Structure 1
Amino acid sequence: MSAFDTILENAYIAPVVGEEIANGHIVIGNGRITALGPGPAPESEGAQRIDATGCLVTPGLVNTHHHLYQWATQGLFQDATLFEWLTGLYRLWAGMDAEVVHDAAGAGLAWLALTGCSTASDHHYIFPTGRGDLFDAEVRAAAAVGLRFHPCRGSMDRGQSEGGLPPDEVVERTDDILTATAEVVDRYHDLSFDSMLRVAVAPCSPFSVSETLLRESAALARDKGVRLHTHLAETLDEDRYCRTHMGCTPVEYMEKLGWLGADVWFAHAIHLRDWEIRRLADTGTGIAHCPSSNARLGAGIARVSELLAAGVPVGLGVDGAASSELTSMAGEMRQAVLLQRAVRGPTALGARQALRLGTLDGARNLGRDTEIGSIEVGKLADLAVWRIDGFRAAVADPVCALVFGPTPPLARLLVGGRTVVADGELRTAAQDELAAAGVRARARLLREEGSR
């Protein structure tokens, strides 16, 4: 019997940490990386050998911010600002049920897998009454696809009658939110090294959540030992809203409520003052940068190069598909580079910096940088194998080919050494059925809206 499960060989390896290997091998045993190095792998009877000639191997990509249910509402409100877009979509989202969430999540997660993502965080914050167990629906979808999943139990308790943006029909009572959040942490959160499922606490945003809920959520998360997540500083409208209603900037507000720290990561953080960047760095607070969504909604361009220079942990997120249609994680690396360079010059963000944002730095935001995010002995074997031969071989630098060009074909995606994608096809579930289910989710949601 072999001591190893799988051997990847003849690959260009970009480990993120340490030197790149132009022609090397990676040995996997019991779901972990047991060895890597240049040249051929050692002989091992019975091990599966994967010839990665013409391929680049990177860590599996880590998506730090998503809204999977939004797969069912892509292509709508194409020319709206964030507040206009939200106002238009809240009524549709109020009609979602567990079936819609399960089917949308399955399609969205399959798409992520097919574009090199091995770990995905999702921020689900709408829980209409009497619509089934929406949280469990996306957990089941993730298990079927086979990705590591970090669902965030989101929430909103500040509807329009309380001065918030969302209509009252899509908000919950504060006490109910806290009870439900504690229950999902207790039920699903798995702290094991090779965990496939970890939960975070994630009230939606300063303009949809009460001060009480923000304070109590922070206390709950720290009592349970889980991470905190929310949207912050996404638009100038939000900045004005906070200064008008809270008397301070979004960052000042969240710090007052105990929301800065190494166990916190914010989505977007576009509109930051210099002192706010320094404060995020000083506290170890992370950022999920979502360049495609930010551009699609005209929200602005986050100051990523300055955040990184200050020492702020920055990962990447695709955000909801309703604001970044069919966006891939590899595509977000490219978009991040192009947007930073468009406003800050050609040295603002490099290909390897972008790869790190999409892997190890994203893992840090999720609290998993000792387990995933780089190719190192002892870490979990979450690996993306990209085809960079053919036309792409004309690009001398394989990492440049991955980040600067269109997303390459995915030869293999391994999660804990298990094949999830091979030769561009999902191998853990029926790919065509998941795609069709995503279309059904949209139709079901639109029918539900029409019947109300």
Structure 2
Amino acid sequence: MGTLLIKNARSIVTMDEERRVIPGGSLYAIGQEIVAIGTDLPYKDADTVIDAAGMIVYPGLINTHHHLFQTLTRNLPLAQDCTLFDWLCTLYDIWRNLRAEDIYISAAVGLGELLKTGCTTAADHFYCFPNGASDELIDEEIRAAAELGIRFYPTRGSMTLGRSRGGLPPDEICQSDEVVLKDTQRVIETYHSDDKFAMVRVGVAPCAPFNVTSELLKESAAMARSYKVRMHTHLAETIDEEQYCLERFGMRPLDYMEQRGWVGDDVWFAHGIHFNDDEIRLLGSHSCGIAHCATSNMKLSSGVFPVHRMLDAGVRVGLGVDGSASNDGSNMLAEARVSYLLHKLAHGPNSLRAEEVLALATRGSASVLGWEDAIGSLEVGKAADLFMIDTRRMEFAGALFDDAALPIIVGMSRPVDMTVVGGKVVVRDGKLTNVDETRVAAEAQAAAARLLNEATLRTKINYRMARQAGQRIAR
């Protein structure tokens, strides 16, 4: 096992129970594990030695919700000014052309941006399996994550309720319940590890109540619990979803999911904006988790997440960037800052402090993923997952008074200086160390152009140029 020594940092922001900030701190790791942190450590050498003079060291950020395949459909004029259901229907026609190579390159771009913005662990919700494409698409994401060196938590998603059966997505991007369950089992058995320092853990993740069958929800929950893996889905994101569940099932979204086994400390939902007080108390009593995705919620006009009521009720809350097509980026530091500002606007000056938002993006997200023993803070026995920023940059001049709050309050105008995952440097001087960024960017843009061209030929809609809402439904 390799060793890592980070020495002479301006400070180490640990985010441990005491929220210690260690001026002049150093950190020593053997393999993935931190074995010493503090000042005047007895270690003078290591396989990798980093002189962190002028640097602040932070625990790696943890992204609890993403759709990496959407990286290829960002900044589309036709999908810029929609609510969720219109936005989905617009993009389904593009996503039906996805190929295995698209999944790999979109994951490389999205995960690369996450690493460059301080994220060391990423959960992804992959649910789009077009007819004719490989059933093993999630494997391409896992391959990309391994090459980049990020800790990865893919969740095998699914859509099985197409338009012909009353669902939202076209039938061409839906699978049968049987196919989904068989492949979910394969993915768990092939990739999931419950090792404390695993580089891959797997979750079970039917997409949403409006695009999977009731039977799949129940059987997915049973499978997840038989393998002792976690469960994830979208819930309470929009009023449209709530209305759909009331009309189709005669009950609110959480009632529907609870009846199908989807409440527990092994469950985390994405968004959770429109839960009422009784539902929030229920979530808290079962220690459910929520991935809060502020930027996506704002872009799609979905609403404001009730963060204080959630935290007060004991709900686990972490941050997620959500899909690149509803965020148009995979920037975890930007997501944290947007969350901070949103709640100041929505809830007043006594809302979340910057350090509390950093806690949501680290400790909170680790709790949502059930991974508190290894990630979320910098302390002995946990993973050497961290990022570093150089405070000698011009953009930080006049701002060096609160190291824990700095990247949230001031923001980051460029990538972090260094990211370390499991004791290995994966971003150095703001650049990825394990892949050629220029090659990845070129291949991704070519794939994105092909997807739009194929969708335009089939639907006669110019996805590059069309903006009017009426053009979304013209065929």
Which TM-score tier does this pair reach, normalised by the shorter chain? over 0.9
Task: Report the counterpart of residue 468 of structure 2 in structure 1.
Answer: none
**Structure 1 equivalent of residue 59 of structure 2:** 59
Give the aligned partner of residue 435 of structure 1. 441
* 1:415 aligned onto 2:421: yes
Residue equivalent to 2:11? 12
Give, in whole Å, the separation in 1 of the partners of 2:298 and 2:127. 23
Alpha-carbon deviations, 1:237-290, whole Å to 9, x = none?
111111111111111111111101110000000111011111100001000000
Match of 2:118 in 1: 116
SS in 2 for 1:10: coil
Q: Could you tell me which of 234, 239, 243 is aligned with 1:240? A: 243
Structure 2 counterpart of 1:90: 92
Q: Match of 1:424, as an amino acid?
A: G
- The Cα offsets for residues 108-148 of structure 1, whole Å up to 9 and x where unpaired, read as 11111111111111101011122123111111111111101
The Cα RMSD (Å) is 1.5
Asked if the contact 1:100–1:445 (Cα under 8 Å) also holds between the matched residues in 2, the reply is no
Deviates more, 1:95-104 or 1:26-35: 26-35
TM value normalised by structure 1: 0.96
Give the conservation status (yes or no) of the 8 Å contact 2:158–2:212: yes
How do 1:158-173 residues align onto structure 2 when only pairs under 5 Å count? 158-173=161-176
Q: Distance in 2 between matches of 1:258 and 1:99?
A: 35
Q: Secondary structure at the match of 1:322?
A: helix
Deviation of the 1:4 alpha carbon: 4.2
Would the alpha carbon gap of residues 327 and 142 (structure 1) be closer, same or farther in structure 2, given more than 3 Å must change? closer
1:337 to 336, 340, 343: 340
SS in structure 2 opposite 1:442? helix
Q: Kindly report which structure 2 residues correspond to 1:382-397, keeping only aligned pairs within 5 A, or say none.
A: 382-390=385-393, 391-395=395-399, 396-397=401-402
The 2-side partners of 1:232 and 1:279 are apart by 14
For residues 124 and 250 of structure 1, the distance between their equivalents in structure 2, rounded to whole angstroms, comes to 21
Query: How far 1:5 sits from its partner (Å)?
Result: 3.1
C-alpha spacing 1:355/1:183, structure 2 compared with 1 (3 Å): same
* Structure 1, unpaired ranges of 5+: none
Asked if residue 70 in structure 1 is aligned to residue 70 in structure 2, the reply is yes
Deviations 1:408-448 (A, max 9, x none): 64121100000000110111111221222221220221233
Identity %, equivalent residues: 45
Pairs aligned (count): 450
Partner of 1:376: 379
Counterparts of 2:35 and 2:397, CA distance in 1: 29
User: Mind listing any 5+ residue stretches in structure 2 that lack a counterpart?
Assistant: 459-475
- 1:193-237 CA-to-partner distances (Å, cap 9, x unmatched) read 211111100000011111111111000100111110000000011
Inter-partner Cα distance in structure 2 for 1:397 and 1:447: 49
Q: How does 1:134-153 map to 2 (within 5 A)?
A: 134-153=137-156
Partner AA of 1:398 in structure 2: D
Does 1:103 pair with 2:105?
yes
Q: Is the 8 A contact 1:119 1:147 kept in 2?
A: yes
Counting only pairs closer than 5 Å after superposition, residues 220-299 of structure 1 correspond to structure 2 as 220-299=223-302
**1:360: how far off?**
1.4
Q: State the distance in 2 between where 1:312 and 1:324 align.
A: 24
Secondary structure at 1:72's aligned position in 2? helix
Q: Note closer, same or farther for the CA distance 1:8–1:285 as it changes in structure 2 (3 Å cut).
A: same
Given that 1:388 and 1:398 are in contact with CA atoms closer than 8 Å, whether structure 2 keeps it comes out as: no
Q: Residues 294 and 71 (structure 1 numbering): CA distance in 2 closer, same or farther, change over 3 Å?
A: same
